[in-house]
Amino acid sequence: MRDTGTAVSKIPLSRPYLDEREEELVLDVLRSGRLSLGPAIDRFEELFAERVGAPYAAAVSSGTAGLHLLCHIAGVADGDEVITSPIAFVATANCFIFEGGRPVFADVDPQTLNLEPAAVEAAVTERTKGIVVVDMFGYPCELDELRAIAERHGLWLIDDSCEALGAEYKGSPVGSHGVSGAFGFYPNKQLTTGEGGMVTTPSEEEWELLKSLRNQGRSYDSRWFHHVRLGFNYRITDLQAALGIAQLEKLDRMLSMRGDVAARYGELLADVEEVEAPLADDAEHRRSWFVYVVKLASGIDRDAVLERLGAQGIEAGLYVPAVHLQPYMRERYGFAEGLCPIAEDACSRTLALPFFPQLTAEDQQRVVGALKDALA
Ligand SMILES: Cc1ncc(COP(=O)(O)O)c(C=O)c1O
């Protein structure tokens, strides 16, 4: 006999928020015939720079590409040590490994899960050349303290803000603090272009360089086959830029919807003892809600929880594993457990719940109900 039971609808981990405006602007570009190096890119850059309060912005093919260009410009050389966070995405370290840099992981603050400035300072050696800081899970890092360390030791500093569009540090947006950084636009991000990224910089000279490097090292005169430096193809398309413009127009609404979803999770989880909610904002840090990552109490079998949620049609994620313990990191550098104990403990207990602007209160109740069952 056929099973006639009602199928449970699936609740995905993330979902982009798109409407007719994206369709309209992408269609305009399609009809214009200018699919790359066209006016939509310039417009997207202008609007983005304005939104985050950065003097200059250069659109690129991904957040990774943006971070790589910044490390390339910083002048990483073989064997240079670069300090970064173990609670990040692999691209955060890969961007300087591509250039010959060697990753040095400093531990994080157990509350913010961002780099602990004292740990960064302790990791500086005479081979250290730079620091890649991260605004993880949309929570701004201790930028002023980290920048002071960089200045004290003559190091360059890059802000990986791929997860933090809309976040504010000391009252102004991430991107406006006079440090070069990159944002990412993968479909789970606060703003998506499918794939894509944006580099923001306080320097006009760096901005010109970024535009040349993303476009095969071309000069910015009108000669197409005129390459003045070794460059990359890290161009974004006008189709993606059109998507980005439509997304920017409603960014504030999407961020506020994300904030509402986070607040509802906070209420629903308040009485669940085994679950620690993400850190709340304070006077200096305003999170831009990117993901909803909770910490499970020590000793809970997280894999079993994940499996039970999956059986209920709820997609949760082991977000994120510690970067230094990834197989290629262990193999290349011999990193092992014990290097960053605070990060390792956090990464072994974190769990990302379904999170996107249009997630309904009913679905959130289902998620939390299933989580309570899974923990019982
Ligand atoms: C912290 C962090 N850095 C870098 C990246 C890389 O961005 P992209 O996927 O656009 O290359 C991401 C995106 O997932 C990220 O979360």
pLDDT digits (tens, 9 = 90+) for 72-123: 999 999 999 999 999 999 999 999 999 999 999 999 999 999 999 999 999 9
Atom of ligand 1 at shortest range from CA of 136? 1
Alpha helices in 53-137 (DSSP H): 63-74, 90-97, 117-123
Ligand 1 centre to CA of 70 (Å) is: 14
State the Cα angle at 91 between 86 and 93, rounded to 5°: 50
Q: Is 260 exposed, middle or buried (0-12, 13-18, 19+ CB in 10 A)?
A: middle
What distance in Å separates the CA atoms of residue 205 and residue 21, rounded to the nearest whole number? Answer: 34
CA-to-CA separations, 87 to 175, 176, 338, 345, in angstroms, rounded? 20, 23, 14, 11
For the chain, the average pLDDT equals 96
Q: pTM above the 0.95 mark? A: yes
| 197 CB within 6 A, ligand 1 | yes
2-11, 189-198, 278-287: least confidently modelled range: 2-11
| 207 CB within 6 A, ligand 1 | no
| 165 CB within 6 A, ligand 1 | no
Residue 4 has pLDDT above 50, yes or no: no
The neighbouring-strand residues paired with 330 are none
Q: What is the pLDDT of residue 222?
A: 65
Q: Which of 136, 186, 290, 326 gets mutated to test ligand 1 (max ligand atoms within 8 A of its CB)?
A: 186
Annotated catalytic residue 170:
no
Catalytic residue among 129, 189, 211, 295: 189
Q: Which of 70, 71, 84, 89 gets mutated to test ligand 1 (max ligand atoms within 8 A of its CB)?
A: 89
pLDDT digits (tens, 9 = 90+) for 234-270: 999 999 999 999 999 999 999 999 999 999 999 999 9
What distance in Å separates the CA atoms of residue 130 and residue 181, rounded to the nearest whole number? Answer: 13
The end-to-end CA distance of the chain, in Å, is 33
| 134 CB within 6 A, ligand 1 | yes
Ligand 1 centre to CA of 337 (Å) is: 24
Q: What is the pLDDT of residue 8?
A: 73
